[in-house]
Amino acid sequence: MSPGEQNPAVERKKVSILGGSGYVGGEVLRLLLFHPRVEVAQVTSASQVGHYVHASHPNLRSITSLQYCHPAELNPCDILFLCQSHGEAAKKIGEYADKAGSIIDCSADFRLRRPEEYRTWYEWDHPSPSWLDRFVYGLPERHRAELRQSRYASGVGCNATATLLAIAPLADAGLLERVVADVKAGSSEAGARPTEGSHHPERSHCVRSFMPTGHRHQAEVIQELGGGFDLSFSVTSVELVRGVLATAHCFLKEPIAERDLWKLYRQAYGQEPFVRLVKQKTGIFRYPEPKLLAGSNFCDIGFEVDPQSKRVVALAAIDNLMKGAAGSAVQCMNVMNGWDEKDGLTFPGLHPI
Amino acid sequence: MAMDPECPECAAAVPLSPETLVGEIVTCPDCGMELEVTQVNPAVLQAAPEEEEDWGE
Amino acid sequence: METRAVELLRRLVSIPSLSGREQEASRFLAEWLERQGARAFVDEAGSAVGQFGSGPREILLLGHIDTFPGHIPVRIEGNILHGRGSVDAKGPLCAFAAAAGEVEIPDRWKITVVGAVEEECATSKGARHIVAQRKKAGATPFCCLIGEPSHWDRLTLGYKGRLLAEINLCAPLAHSGGPEMLPAEKGVELWRLISDGCRARNEQNGASSPFECLSPSLRSIRSRDDDCYGHVTLSLGFRLPAWESPEELRSDLADWLRDWKPVFPADRMEAESRTEGSPEPKLEIFLSGDEVCWKGNKSNPLVQSFLAAIRQSGGQPRFVLKTGTSDLNVLGPAFPQMPIAAYGPGDSSLDHTPDECLDLSEYQRSIEILKEVLKKLMLSSAV
């Protein structure tokens, strides 16, 4: 039994997951089963009705005996996590909102503010454009105050999250002229459904430049940081299952000294529970390293000044399924309910790994 | 110490105990730099001497 | 007018004290220490020992009283003292003795000055005896300072390890016009295999500085022929980094030379008892002088006192790592938790050279630093 099932006497909010059989759904479930303030009521999957959830998420064997139910059987609950593929949540948002006190969506359906953005970046006509401004972008580091007042939080793009956290202090200070960002991403970003490209013999040991231009996550970075600078953005797949490393070459308007950079980043992130500055003089892991973050909600950020030019290289590492998806989603839930932001999110990662 | 001194490299506040003596070597918690306490009350830090290498005995 | 400290140095340098023949020098130093108020004697190993104070906490100041061979007429010209051992290491040793004799010693403390024997000849007999005595008594010194030249404003934190190898190759002679390698050429080939092996280990370990490298040196190579055989003797020294212990090097040598089927006699007696006369080349490798690399850490009262004292005196303190080996390699591993470093006036590049000499103002300055360090240590509240 999960801790939630063991302690029924503690007042816990009822939480359900729509689309629980995918990677993000499974990760949200893993976090919620060990969250001190919630009790998981239902997990839905249209394709796995009746199956035990641990059949799709073997790490949860003996942790829960929940079985999938059909989305049509969803009962009212306090908090609803939407973990379906892109496009699903937007179609039925009205219906879901009737069943839940608050909703946290993990898809791309409510990340962007305007339907035109969806036409440009997703080539998609948004079916519920009136809902777009009711959702707050689901990154507490940028929208904590609004999340506290909101019933609805959007998902975040994992590549976008790493990139924007890396460069936000420079953008907010108006120092950026141009950014060229390359994101190295793990395979779990692509989701649980296999494709030809994800077939192991084809994917294994690749360093595949799979989206040199036109990646959708760029839209969120521009939206969140304003358009005051040029952004060039690429994504490269590397030999990782979980993990994202964003390397952003920031060309500044004026040179900056390393001490001032430290000050800027410390001011921006010194109080953040899940952002750590990693820039060490000695040791093996001197800069952010994704593999140390697997399963943890931290975003590690580092930077280096190029003394010959006005370039700063800003680095950020996350676990794409945690800070890039489920972890941020649960963090949003904590903020929206006035709980300790670290509830259910204390796992520190592993070493060695 | 009334106020923690700053690391000369990254400006982090480096916590020192009240018993810290002049000449002690401490490490910056943020950037990992080795620092020497060159003054107390108020505490001042500077980069610790580097390790040179020499032939012979 | 000559100060007491300079007189001590001049007189001690004037007494020849090759390794194994330090008796007169040790007696002289012990008597001098006694006149300064120490309980002084020459110990069983032959080292001069002087103990100031009688408290339980010991500051061990260990220099070596033996010198490298070679006579240099002892004289003071300008403010420079010339003489064998003036830098390595009677200068540092006398600075220890002078400083210890001039500080007040609180009840809980004692300062032991040792002029140790046989550091230069690689047995470190004096230092090992000091270690054995303390181990037997279960008494770890509070800290240890080794007397070796570092310059008055520098503190030596570490020395490399060492292994000495004598390789005897006996191979049948061959015609110099034929295809077979001559014994002398085989000797050169052995050296090449060993130095290639060291280079590969350095690459594997990412060694980028002299202190980090496994460094072989070919000290001599001699060959002679008798009727049918050539005998080649190579004398090698290895300077060891922290990542290669003497045991690991022994194992590496066996590995690099395995095709030659080397034999590793345990001692010289066993080596000399082997018979000659077989057509197969015979390779014997006699290893000695094992010392591990040792580097003391910096977060302790000894280092803290030095940094504060040097800065107080207007200097810019520096740390140094030496590629040589000293009694620090004996005391450090024996008491791994004990703060340890090496210090002393003088320029170590003059060690073992005909130009060995010591600037007396640097000598005096180092004594002032040492006195300040001793005072700070004895005020230390560290357990």
Residues of A in contact with B32 (CB under 8 A): 280-283, 286
**C256 and C123 part of one domain:** no
Q: Do B54 and C348 touch (CB under 8 A)?
A: yes
pLDDT tens-digit readout, A291-339: 999 999 999 999 999 988 899 999 999 999 999 999 999 999 999 999 9
Residues of B in contact with A281 (CB under 8 A): 9, 31-34
Domain positions in chain A: 13-135, 158-320
Which run of H or E residues covers position C334? helix C328-334
**Touch between chain C and chain A: 3 or more Cβ pairs under 8 Å:** no
Average pLDDT over residues C121-149: 96
Structure tokens at C145: 């300072």
For C17, the 3-state DSSP assignment is: coil
**C253 and C136 part of one domain:** no
**Touch between chain A and chain B: 3 or more Cβ pairs under 8 Å:** yes
The residue count for chain A: 353
pLDDT tens-digit readout, A65-93: 999 999 999 999 999 999 999 999 999 99
Would you say C219 and C166 are in contact if contact means Cβ atoms under 8 Å apart? no
What CATH number is given to the structural domain containing C233? Answer: 3.30.70.360
The residue count for chain C: 383
- Among C64, C291, C294, C311, most B C-beta atoms within 10 A, so best to mutate, is C311
**C183 and C227 part of one domain:** yes
Write out the catalytic residue numbers of C: 66, 119
**Nearest CA-CA distance, residue A307 and chain B, Å:** 15
pLDDT score recorded for residue C383 = 47
Q: Average pLDDT of chain C?
A: 93
Average pLDDT over residues C143-164: 97
**C23 and C148 part of one domain:** yes
Neighbours of A22 (CB within 10 A): 19
Q: When comparing pLDDT for A207 and A88, which is higher?
A: A88
Residue C236: pLDDT above 50? yes
Residues of C in contact with B23 (CB under 8 A): 303-309, 311, 376
End-to-end CA distance of chain C: give it in Å, rounded: 43
pLDDT score recorded for residue C178 = 77
Q: How many domains does chain C have?
A: 2
The active-site residue, picked from A77, A83, A106, A158, is A158
Pairwise CA distance, residues A121 & C117, whole Å: 82
Residue B50: pLDDT above 50? yes
Specify the amino acid at residue C201. R
pLDDT tens-digit readout, A164-174: 999 999 999 99
**C179 and C287 part of one domain:** yes
Q: Average pLDDT of chain A?
A: 93
Q: Which of C291, C315, C349 is the last residue of a domain?
A: C291
- Chain A with chain B: Cβ pairs closer than 8 A: 28
**C48 and C171 part of one domain:** no
Residues of B in contact with C348 (CB under 8 A): 54-57
- Among C64, C213, C298, C325, most B C-beta atoms within 10 A, so best to mutate, is C298
Beta-ladder partners of C232: C169, C223
Structure tokens at A174: 């108006």
The reply to whether B17 touches chain C by the CB within 8 Å rule is no
Average pLDDT over residues C348-364: 94
Helix axes C91-101, C360-379, angle to 10 degrees: 50
User: How far apart, in Å, are the Cα atoms of B21 and each of A156, B17, C59?
Assistant: 49, 9, 19
**C7 and C140 part of one domain:** yes
A104-128 burial: b if 16+ Cβ within 10 Å, else e: bbbbbbbbbeebebbeebbeeebeb
- What is the rounded (10 degree) CA torsion for C339, C345, C351, C355? 180
List Cβ neighbours of C111 (8 Å cut-off, separation of 6 or more): C51, C52, C53, C58, C59, C61, C100, C103, C105, C374
The band of C266, judged by pLDDT with boundaries at 50, 70 and 90, is confident
End-to-end CA distance of chain B: give it in Å, rounded: 40
Q: Neighbouring chains of C at 3+ CB pairs within 8 Å?
A: B
pLDDT tens-digit readout, C24-59: 999 999 999 999 999 999 999 999 999 999 999 999
The second-level CATH assignment, the architecture, of A13-135 is 3-Layer(aba) Sandwich (3.40)
Q: Do C348 and B48 touch (CB under 8 A)?
A: no
Q: Is B51 exposed, middle or buried (0-12, 13-18, 19+ CB in 10 A)?
A: middle
pLDDT tens-digit readout, A270-295: 999 999 999 998 888 999 999 999 99
Structure tokens at A15: 């939480």
Average pLDDT over residues A42-51: 94
pLDDT score recorded for residue B46 = 96
**C200 and C254 part of one domain:** yes
Query: Scanning every residue of chain C, which has its alpha carbon at the shortest distance from the alpha carbon of B55?
Result: C323
Neighbours of A282 (CB within 10 A): 10
**C91 and C228 part of one domain:** no
Would you say C184 and C176 are in contact if contact means Cβ atoms under 8 Å apart? no
Provide the domain limits for residue C323: 2-159+294-380
Pairwise CA distance, residues C144 & C218, whole Å: 33
Residue B1: pLDDT above 50? no
Query: Scanning every residue of chain C, which has its alpha carbon at the shortest distance from the alpha carbon of B26?
Result: C299
pLDDT score recorded for residue A257 = 92
Q: Which of C291, C310, C336 is the last residue of a domain?
A: C291
Q: Do B50 and C318 touch (CB under 8 A)?
A: yes
Q: Do A259 and B9 touch (CB under 8 A)?
A: yes
Pairwise CA distance, residues C124 & C114, whole Å: 13
As a whole-number percent, the residues of chain C with pLDDT over 70 amount to 95
Structure tokens at A168: 């936000």
Residues of B in contact with A258 (CB under 8 A): 9-10
| Residues A192, A198, A200, A204, CA torsion sign | negative
Structure tokens at C30: 């012990």
Residues of C in contact with B36 (CB under 8 A): 307
Omega of the bond leading into B42 within 30 degrees of 0 (cis): yes
pLDDT score recorded for residue A78 = 97
Pairwise CA distance, residues C41 & C29, whole Å: 9
Residue C197: pLDDT above 90? yes
Q: Neighbouring chains of A at 3+ CB pairs within 8 Å?
A: B
Residues of B in contact with C209 (CB under 8 A): 53
**Nearest CA-CA distance, residue A266 and chain B, Å:** 8
Average pLDDT over residues A131-160: 97
- Among B16, B20, B54, most C C-beta atoms within 10 A, so best to mutate, is B54
The reply to whether B22 touches chain C by the CB within 8 Å rule is yes
Interface of C with B (CB under 8 A): 88-89, 148-149, 154, 156-157, 159, 209-211, 298-299, 303-309, 311, 316-326, 348-349, 351, 376, 381
Q: What is the DSSP letter of A270?
A: T
For C134, the 3-state DSSP assignment is: helix
**Nearest CA-CA distance, residue B32 and chain A, Å:** 5
Would you say C327 and C62 are in contact if contact means Cβ atoms under 8 Å apart? yes
User: How far apart, in Å, are the Cα atoms of B24 and each of A158, B40, C67, C304?
Assistant: 44, 11, 35, 5
Neighbours of A254 (CB within 10 A): 7
**Nearest CA-CA distance, residue B33 and chain A, Å:** 6
Would you say C102 and C49 are in contact if contact means Cβ atoms under 8 Å apart? no
**Nearest CA-CA distance, residue A262 and chain B, Å:** 6
Would you say A167 and A314 are in contact if contact means Cβ atoms under 8 Å apart? yes
What CATH number is given to the structural domain containing C364? Answer: 3.40.630.10
**C186 and C127 part of one domain:** no
pLDDT tens-digit readout, A209-235: 877 787 888 999 999 999 899 999 999
**C278 and C299 part of one domain:** no
Residue A277, CB half-sphere, CA atoms under 13 Å: how many?
Answer: 25
Q: Which of C272, C291, C310 is the last residue of a domain?
A: C291
CATH class belonging to A158-320: alpha beta
pLDDT score recorded for residue A139 = 98
Which run of H or E residues covers position C270? helix C268-272
Average pLDDT over residues B39-53: 94
The reply to whether B48 touches chain A by the CB within 8 Å rule is no
Residues of B in contact with C322 (CB under 8 A): 53-57
C-alpha C2: how far from chain center = 30
The reply to whether B2 touches chain C by the CB within 8 Å rule is no
pLDDT score recorded for residue C269 = 57
Considering only C170-174, C264-268, C278-282, which range has the smallest mean pLDDT?
Answer: C278-282
The reply to whether B49 touches chain C by the CB within 8 Å rule is yes
Q: What is the DSSP letter of C376?
A: H
Residues of B in contact with C320 (CB under 8 A): 51-54
Which of B48, B49, B53 shows the shortest C-beta gap to C323?
B53
Pairwise CA distance, residues C108 & C56, whole Å: 6
Omega of the bond leading into C89 within 30 degrees of 0 (cis): yes
Q: Do A258 and B33 touch (CB under 8 A)?
A: no
Pairwise CA distance, residues A163 & A79, whole Å: 29
Q: When comparing pLDDT for A202 and A130, which is higher?
A: A130
Neighbours of C167 (CB within 10 A): 23
DSSP track, A320-353: TTIIIIIHHHHHHHHHHTT--TTTT------S--
Would you say A295 and A350 are in contact if contact means Cβ atoms under 8 Å apart? yes
Q: Do B33 and A281 touch (CB under 8 A)?
A: yes
Structure tokens at A310: 């006005």
Nearest to C172 by CA among C161, C184, C163: C184
Average pLDDT over residues B15-40: 93
pTM equals 0.79
C-alpha A52: how far from chain center = 26
C-alpha C110: how far from chain center = 25
**Touch between chain B and chain C: 3 or more Cβ pairs under 8 Å:** yes
Which run of H or E residues covers position C183? helix C183-204
Considering only A10-24, A195-209, C154-168, which range has the smallest mean pLDDT?
Answer: A195-209
Average pLDDT over residues B10-38: 93
**C45 and C151 part of one domain:** yes
User: How far apart, in Å, are the Cα atoms of A78 and each of A75, A81, A134?
Assistant: 10, 10, 18
Alpha helices by DSSP H, listed for chain A, are 3-6, 23-33, 53-56, 88-99, 115-122, 140-149, 158-172, 200-203, 217-225, 258-269, 327-336
Residues of B in contact with A262 (CB under 8 A): 10-12, 30-31
**Nearest CA-CA distance, residue C81 and chain B, Å:** 19
Which of B10, B32, B34 shows the shortest C-beta gap to A262?
B10
Q: What is the DSSP letter of B43?
A: T
